[in-house]
Amino acid sequence: MEFSRRDLMAIRNAMSAVFLLIFSSGILVAKDRTTEELRAYAERRIANADDEQLNAFVTSLDLDADGTITDTEFKRRIEVFQQVFVTVQPVPAAGGHGLPDNWMTDFEKARVKSAETGKPVLAMFSASWCGPCKMMIANVYPTDEARQALDAFVPVYIDSEQQVDLATKNEVRAYPTFICFDTDGESIGQHVGGGGVDDFVSMLANFHDPAASDSAPAPGSADPPPAETKTLD
C-alpha cells in the first residue's frame, strides 16, 4: 500500500496529536507503576489502539520483565511510543523547517567545526511537529540579534524523530531542548523551552556563564518533563 506525501503528513499530524495528549497529561510521574496500571491508562488515552500495540508498548517499557515500570524505564516512553505507534515515519523537514544558512543539520560535522574553530556547539533538539520550534525558526533565528549571538557558537538542528539515539543519549524529553557542548563534545549547559529574541539571546549568554544558567522548562516547550507529584488517574 502506497501513501502520498499528503497522506503521510496527515498520518504524522494525527499521531503527533495523540502523542501530545498522552504525554502532557497526568501519566508522567516519578514513581514505580505496575504494567497493569500503565496499560489501563494507555488504553484510555490512546485512540484506536489495538491490544497488540498496547501490549507491545507496555512490554517494551518493562525492560526487566518484572511487571513494574520504574521511573528509569518510563523515561524511554517517547522512543517506545514512536517505535510502536508511529508506524509511518514522517518525512524529514528539509533543512529543519527552513533553517537560516548559519545553522547546520549534521551533529558530527558540527563537532568537527567546533574543534576547528574553538566554538562550542549549540544543539537544538526538535521535532517536525513542534510548534514553539517552528516559531523560533521563523521569527527568532533570522533576526540580527540572534545571528550576532550565534556567532560565538556552532548551531546545529537535531531532528529527534530521525536521530532517536542521540536524543535518548542526551535525555531529551521535551522540545525544543537546547544543549551546549564544548569542543570535546561534553555537555556544558541545557535549557528546555522556546521563547522570543530576548529569551534566546539571554539563554546563549547563560551558556557562557554556567552559574547563571536556567535549565527549568519554559512556557514555550512541547511535552514538558513530568511533575513528581502527579499520580495515575
- Checking if the pLDDT of 222 tops 70, the result is no
Query: pTM of the prediction?
Result: 0.54
Q: How confident is the model at residue 69 (pLDDT cuts 50, 70, 90)?
A: confident
Q: How confident is the model at residue 182 (pLDDT cuts 50, 70, 90)?
A: very high
Which entry of 130, 140, 180, 192 is annotated as an active-site residue?
130
Averaged pLDDT, 179-185: 95
**Residue range 110-120, pLDDT digits in tens:** 999 999 999 99
**What are the chain's domains?**
5-84 (1.10.238), 95-212 (3.40.30.10)
- Checking if the pLDDT of 169 tops 50, the result is yes
Whether 133 is catalytic is yes
- The dihedral built from the CA positions of residue 11, 159, 225 and 142, taken in this order, carries a sign that is negative
Q: Nearest 5 degrees, angle CA 83-CA 226-CA 176?
A: 65
Which entry of 42, 69, 124, 133 is annotated as an active-site residue?
133
